[in-house]
Structure 1
Amino acid sequence: MSNEELESNMSELLNQYDVKRLNRGDVLKGKVIDVNDKEVSVNIDYAFDGLIAKEEVSIDDRDPMEVVSKDDEIYVYVISPNDGEGYVELSLIKALEIKDREELSECFKEEKNVKVHVKEETKGGVIAYYGNIKVFIPGSLASRERIQLSNLVGRDLDVRITELDFNNKRVIASRRILEEEEYNKNKKNIWDDLKDGEKRNGVVKKIVKFGAFVDIGGVEGLIHISDLSWERVNRPEDIVKEGDKVEVFIGSVDRKNERLSLILKDVTKEPWTVHSNDINEGDILEGKVVRLTAFGAFVELFDGIEGLVHITEITDEHIAKPSDVLEVNQKVKVKVLSINREEKRIALSIKEAVENNKEYLDYIDNSDESGTSLGDLLKGFKFE
Structure 2
Amino acid sequence: MEIIVAKSAGFCFGVDNAVKKVYQLLDTNNERIFTFGPVIHNDQVVNYLKRKGVKIVNDIDEVNEKGHIVIRAHGVTPVIYKKIKDKGLILEDATCPYVKKIHNLVEQKSSEGYRIIIVGDKNHPEVIGINGWCNDNAYIVNSADDVEKLKKSDEKICVVAQTTITKEKWHEVNEALKEKFENILKFDTICSATTKRQSEVEEISKVVDLMIIMGDKKSSNTQKLCDISRKHCPLTFKVETSLDLPQIDVEKIKKIGISAGASTPDWVIEEVIRKMSELNNQEVTKNEVNQEDFNFADALEESFVRIRPGEIIKGKVIGFNANEVYVDLGYKADGIIPLEEYTDIPDFQIEKEVKVGDEIEVFVQQINDGEGNVRLSKKQVDINKAWEDVEKAYNDKTPLKAVVVEVVNGGVVASYRGVRIFVPGSQLSDRYVKDLKDFLKRTIEVRLIDFNQKRRKLVGSARVILEERKEKASKEIWETIEVGKTYNGVVKSLTDFGAFVDIGGVDGLIHVSELSWSRVNHPSEVLKVGDTVEVHVLEFDKDKKKISLGYRKEEDNPWVKVGQMYKEGVIVTVKVLRMTPFGAFVEVIEGVDGLVHISQISNKRITKVEDVLEVGMKVDAKIIEMDLENKKINLSIKEVKPIDPPDNNAKETGENKEEPEITEHKEEMEVTLADVIKTSEEVKS
**Computing the radius of gyration over CA atoms, which structure comes out larger, 1 or 2?**
2
**Please, what TM-score do these two structures have when normalized by structure 2?**
0.28
